[in-house]
Amino acid sequence: MGVWQRLRGAVSGRPAAAGDQPAGLARAGRGGTGATPIAQVTNRQHCRVSGLIRSIVVGSPGQGHGFEIDLHDGTGSLRAVWLGQRDIPGLTVGRRVTVEGLVTVGPDGQCTVMNPRYRLTALERQA
């Protein structure tokens, strides 16, 4: 059971079911070849995850980190941080991306990948 599912169970008092995800995020992880669902990543695991960028935070010049995204795949969320960066072309809110690197899980259950490799996924056309 992944970190996200354990946290959902702890908050609700019951184990999370496969259908317990926000509407619209079920499709978020599709398209990442060889991608692991975020809910299944474990601490100190090298993994590849794919999802949608839900938010971006850019640190001020005096702060320790730089460019940070919050990635969602329908099973959970993961934070990807690029140290020393103020902007990464192509990484925008709503964009699908695949990131790869070593995951650390903090005491709060937040999954983080520092300076991951990334690949932008082709934008889908709206019908």
Residue 19 is classified by DSSP as: T
Please give the pLDDT value at position 30: 46
Domains of the chain: 3-120 (2.40.50.140)
Residue 99 has pLDDT above 80, yes or no: yes
> What's the whole-model pTM score?
0.70
CA-to-CA distance for 104 and 98, rounded, in angstroms? 17
Judged against a pLDDT cut of 50, whether residue 47 lies above it is answered with: yes
DSSP 126: P
pLDDT tens by residue, 85-96: 989 999 999 999
Buried b (16+ CB within 10 A) or exposed e, 47-62: bbbbbbbeeeeebeee
